[in-house]
Amino acid sequence: MNVTIEIPDRIAAALSSKGADVPRRVLEMLAVDGYRNGELSRGQVSEMLALSFYETEAFLHQHKVERVADEREQIASILKERAKGPFVAFDPSDETFFNEIREESERMLQAEKD
């Protein structure tokens, strides 16, 4: 998709005064915003900006982009951490286990907000 935006010449000149590529800057800002809001995945940012995995990692780090993980990602992270410890079998029908994970996830999300 091609997108055209209109920027007054005076502002475009100011944006490109230090040799910046204005269309690239706009594309990068869109990628950062989309990733931060969870609309784009890391892979989509990589594809959008034609960057390798490591270049994308550096780009996101450089722009201090931290996307807030949704509940599913938080639970996956907790399960991954727990998997590093001793193996614990659980009954999939046991709601207590999942409630504990959900509560732990909520605590982690709240801690990130504070």
Residue 101 CA to residue 114 CA, distance in Å, equals: 20
- Prediction pTM value: 0.55
Q: What is the pLDDT of residues 33-90, one digit of tens each?
A: 998 888 888 889 999 999 988 898 889 989 988 765 566 666 666 676 666 665 555 5
32 Cβ neighbours under 8 A, 6+ residues apart: 60, 63, 65
Of 27, 64, 65, nearest in space to 47 by CA: 27
Q: What is the pLDDT of residues 4-29, one digit of tens each?
A: 888 898 988 888 877 778 889 889 99
Chain CA centroid to CA 37, Å: 7
Of 2, 4, 62, 74, nearest in space to 38 by CA: 74
Q: Across the chain, which distance is largest between two alpha carbons, in Å?
A: 65
